[in-house]
Structure 1
Amino acid sequence: MFSRRAANNRPDPTANAAMPPSPRLDLHAAQPALARLLQGERAAWCDFVGAAAPVVRAVARKVLAPAGQDAELADVVQDTFAALCRDDFNLLRRYDPARASLATYLGVVAGRRALDHLRRAAPAAVDLDAVPEERLAVDPALPAGPLRLPDDLLTPRQALILRLIYERDLDVDEVALRLGIAAQSVRSLRHKALERLRGHLRAAGDVSPPGRE
C-alpha cells in the first residue's frame, strides 16, 4: 500500500497522491488520519494523503494553470506532500486548528510550493508579485466548515466580505450589490483581509515563507 524508506522509515510522499480528484477535503478522514500520523502510526499516511490530495491538487492547479504549467501538477503535488512529511512531519505538527481550517492550511502550503516551482522554472518570465491572491486561496468549492478568523485581526467589514465570498460562495459583484459598495472596494477589502491573515499566520510560525520549510 505504501513504501517505507530504509534510511529513516519515512512514508512515501507519493502514496495515494495520484488518486482521482474529489470536490472537497474529506475532514472525516483527514483529521483522524492526521492525529494517528502525529502519534506515530506511519500507516495513517496513506489515509491522510487520500483525504488531503484533492485540496492540494486543486490549489496547485489554480497557481500553475495561468502560467501554462498544468503538466507540472503531479510534480508539485508530490513536492507538497514531501514537504509535509519532511523532518518528522514538522509542517503538520505546526498546524493549529484554532488559527485556520485544515483545508486552508494545506492550501497555503500547496500554493507556496507551486509558486516555488514557477520561480525555479521561469524566473525571468513569471512576475510573482502579479499573481492574484485568489490563486493562493482555497477554492470556495472546497469548504471545511465556517471560517475561523482570529479575534480583532480584521475589521467587521473585512470579515463579512470573506464570509460572504468563502462561506456563502458569492462572487465579488454579488457581494458589492449586497453591501451597496463598488466591486473594486470589495476586491480591495478582500485583498487587505487576506494580507492580514497571511501576516498573522507567518508571525505565528504556521507557514514557512517561500523556499523554506
Structure 2
Amino acid sequence: MIFLSNSLLVHICSAEENNPPRPLTYGFVQEVEEDSSVLLHNVDTLFYDPDGDNISLLLYNGRRFWEGEYSGPVVRAELFREDSEEEGWGINITPHPDAYGRDTVIVAATDGYYLSNSINISVEVTPTNDPPEIFGVVREGQFSLILKEDESFSGRFVAGDFKDGENVTFEVSISEGLRSLRLNPSTGEFNVTPIQEDVG
C-alpha cells in the first residue's frame, strides 16, 4: 500500500536585479588657472544606470566616498546641484591660494544601493604671473617717508616678487615738488632732492 503525504506549495519569486551605475569614461584632464576656479556642469551625465534609477554623485576624500568636499594638495572640490534637481550634479573646483600643479578629483555615482566605478578628473592648475609687492622705503635702517624742508635724502625702496620668485626692477616718476630723483632700477636705491623752500 502506498501512502501519500500532504503537499507543500512553494512560490518562487525572482526579484528584479539591481545593477550599479556605470561610468562612461575613465577620466579626463581639466585645466584651471591659479587663483581662479572652474564649474563642471552636469557631471552626472558621465554616468548611466542600467536600471534607469536616479543617481547622485560622491567625492573621494582620501578615505571614503561622501557628499562632502575634497581638499587636496592643490585644489578643493565640492559638489553642487544645478538650478533644478532634474538638471543634475556639478563640481566646483577651486585651487588653493597661490597653488599650482597637478591634483586629482575622484568622483563616483550611486543609485542609493550600489556605488559605481570612479572617474578620475586630473586637474592641471597653471601658474599666473603675480605682480610684485612694494612694502615701503628704508632710510637709515628705518621705514620712513618724511624729510625736512630743503633736505636731500637717500633711501631704498623695499619690494619683492615672493609668489613667483622673479627678479624685480624699479621705476618711478617725479611729482611736483621734487627737483631730481636718481634711482638704481636694480637695487631700488635712490636719492631725492626737493625744490628749495617747498613743503608738502
Q: Which band: TM-score by shorter chain?
A: under 0.3
Larger Rg: 2
Between Structure 1 and Structure 2, the one with more strand by share is 2
| TM-score normalised by the chain length of structure 1 | 0.20
TM-score (normalizing by structure 2): 0.21
Bigger helix share:
1
